[in-house]
Amino acid sequence: YLFVQFYFNFLTDKWFYTRVLLGHALSWARAPAAALNFNCMLILLPVCRNLLSFLRGTIQCCSRTAARQLDRNLTFHKLVAYMIAFHTAVHIIAHLFNFEYFMDAQLNRNSSLLTFVLSEIGTNDSLPFLNPIRTNETNPTIVMFTTIAGLTGVAITLALILIITSSMEVIRRSYFEVFWYTHHLFVIFFIGLVFHGYGRIVRGQTSDSLNISNPKICAEQFKTWGQNGSHCEIPVFAGNPPGTWKWVLAPMILYVCERLVRLYRSHQKVVVMHPSKTLELQMKRKGFSMEVGQYVFIQCPSVSRLEWHPFTLTSAPEEDYFSAHIRIVGDWTQALYEQLKLVPDGEEVAIDGPFGTASEDVFRYEVVMLVGAGIGVTPFASILKSVWYKHIQNNQEVFTKKIYFYWLCPETQAFEWFADLLQSLEGQMAEKAMTDFLSYNIYLTRWKETEAAHFRVHHEAVNDPITGLKQKTLYGKPNWDNEFTNIASNHPGTKVGVFLCGPPQLGKSLEKQCLSHSEADVKFIFNKENF
């Protein structure tokens, strides 16, 4: 709507003489600029996590579907970024043509051409100019680097290119620090954006000048402009006042408030402990309150004072501490591990959060499927611990009647820390005659031949040779079509909440299964963790 509206706005009489110089390239520059303003207004909102957590808690009591949309904040953030990149490209290409047209009007120094006459306005009198290129002894490149619009445009474009390229998944996963630091070029992007229009390079005829001289008529009489007996005065031009700040001021204020909240929280230090190579940080902080499946941002000042990394909480709300499990991959986690080895009594870290996720809604479904891949099992550790406290310790009734848990691991080492929790749950649920409440399936997706031989030898043992559980480990990947079909037949007339913390490919597969197996009497609702 904005694109079309602004495109046609610049086809009105006010911009008639500007179009004489630039043609339709004027509209093709201004229409994407309007769309850019709108998208730049939106881009910061999905990363205002405290605001999103507040909104999620406020609206989920009214609409679970509306609350689930907030869990897609990063997807929305990426879509807006794609639109910013697209409209920036159109805006730049159009302005490259515009500067060439401005330059051509100066180079063709023929007084019988309207383009040259328009370019000369403001040279020898006090009238404001229309053509920002004031001499034929220059070129568009020099103008680009000597004007406010040109310099800020170059800064904005370079910042945007670096932000987008460093946000590619291969960079995020392999060089997270590059992504993290480069992403903060958004500060330069927004500063350049606010000041980009202060040069007022694109100019149109003023209202007073339009009332005196009709441009469509006077364009044919340009040789007699301002002469006695002529009904056409020399047109007067003015640039539009910069308006981008009106679009982005409120989101910028919200984001600054968000960072101030983070700064306040970061001064509330916690002490951490670590029992194994997969770090378990057990922390306490006064006034900390959480729900199942939420996540926090963690900063370790002794490693880096600028880097914050998101981790899912693995503790339950009923516990008197909160914890996070961190798999050691990448420079930051390795540096954190090395630092903790040097400080055996604990290390001070800063915490920001907790923030809401889709997993908060687990106990709103009667039947639940939990799917974790590798370290992605962490939010479900919190959920299963909470189940243990609610059902086993406190005999508390919950709406959820059945949980199907699936854990996909590429290697046996990944089972080490979480198997203990499952063993405890398995034993105590057997004592309480609650074995039907939780069904779990653990899949080993990759294994070595020597390990396979060992597993075959011990397969008939009472407990699984890998996890120590009575439920035997399965090999390969689940047949999701069969799993969904069985669950649908076992629970007619219910809504099944499907929760995933894992890779995007698995998410696409599960979302497709949810759609294909949802029928009149059974609905599968897909929820995915996003950080």
pTM exceeds 0.85: no
Which amino acid does the sequence have at 97? F
pLDDT for residue 378: 76
Burial of 457-477, coded b for 16+ CB within 10 Å and e otherwise, reads eeeeeeebbbbebeebbeeee
pLDDT for residue 211: 86
Distance CA 381, CA 362 (A): 13
Cα 395 to chain centroid distance, Å, stands at 40
List phi, psi (to 5°) of 458: -100, 10
Distance CA 123, CA 209 (A): 18
How would DSSP label each residue in 118-186?
A: HHHTTTSSSSPPS-S---SSS-HHHHHTTSHHHHHHHHHHHHHHHHHHHTSHHHHHH-HHHHHHHHTTH
Tokens of 179: 């992504």
Cα 268 to chain centroid distance, Å, stands at 27
**Is the distance from CB of 514 to CB of 526 less than 8 angstroms?**
yes
Strand pairing report for 295-299 and 309-312: antiparallel
pLDDT for residue 153: 93
Please, is 198 exposed, middle or buried when counting C-beta atoms within 10 Å of its C-beta (0-12, 13-18, 19+)? middle
pLDDT for residue 195: 93
pLDDT for residue 82: 95
Question: Residue 34: which region, alpha, beta or left (left: phi > 0; alpha: psi -120 to 50)?
Answer: alpha
**Is the distance from CB of 475 to CB of 468 less than 8 angstroms?**
no
pLDDT for residue 77: 93
Distance CA 284, CA 321 (A): 5
**Is the distance from CB of 351 to CB of 296 less than 8 angstroms?**
yes
Tokens of 271: 């002490």
pLDDT for residue 110: 86
Residue 464 DSSP label: -
**Residue 253: Cβ within 10 Å count:** 11
SS3 467: coil
Distance CA 500, CA 379 (A): 9
The rounded average pLDDT for each run of 10 residues, N- to C-terminus, in the chain (531 residues) is 94 92 92 95 90 75 70 89 96 92 88 88 76 83 84 94 91 83 93 90 88 86 81 86 91 91 69 61 77 84 84 82 80 82 73 80 86 78 78 71 84 62 66 72 70 54 55 77 90 88 87 87 83 60
SS3 108: coil
**Is the distance from CB of 527 to CB of 359 less than 8 angstroms?**
yes
Distance CA 178, CA 231 (A): 63
Distance CA 387, CA 379 (A): 13
- Please report the domains of the chain, with CATH numbers, ordered by start residue: 2-147+201-258 (no CATH), 270-356 (2.40.30.10), 360-528 (3.40.50.80)
Strand partners, 500: 371, 528
